[in-house]
Amino acid sequence: MAAAPSEPPKTDAPLHVAIVMDGNGRWAKRRGLPRSLGHRAGVEALKRTVAVAPELGIKWLTVFGFSTENWSRPAAEVSELMALPKRYFESDLARLEREGVRVRCWGRRQGLSADLVKMLTDAEARTAHNEVFNLNIAFNYGGQADIVDAARRFAEEVAAGRADPADLNEAVFTQHLSTGAAPPPDMIIRPSGEQRLSNFLLWEAAYAEFIFQDVLWPDFNAEHLKAAIEEYRRRDRRYGGAAADDVLAAG
| Options 8-16, 39-47, 54-62, 224-232: segment touching ligand FPP (CB under 6 A) | 39-47
Nearer to ligand FPP, 137 or 233 (CB): 137
Neighbouring residues of 160: CB distance < 8 A, sequence distance ≥ 6: none
Single out the segment in contact with ligand FPP by CB under 6 A; choices: 17-25, 50-58, 95-103, 173-181: 17-25
Q: Does 142 bind ligand FPP (CB under 6 A)?
A: no
Tell me the DSSP string of 169-216.
-HHHHHHHSTTTTSPPPSEEEE-SS----TTSSTTGGGGPEEEE-SS-
Does residue 43 touch ligand FPP according to CB under 6 A? yes
| Residue range at the interface with ligand FPP (CB under 6 A); choices 3-11, 21-29, 144-152, 169-177 | 21-29
Residue nearer to ligand FPP on the CB measure, 46 or 145: 46
70 is annotated as an active-site residue = yes
Q: DSSP alpha helices (H): ranges in the chain? A: 24-30, 35-52, 75-82, 84-98, 114-126, 143-159, 170-176, 222-233, 244-250
- Does the footprint of ligand FPP cover residue 139 (CB under 6 A)? yes
Q: Can you give the binding site for ligand FPP, defined by CB under 6 A?
A: 21-26, 39, 42-43, 46, 65, 70, 81, 84-85, 88, 137, 139, 217
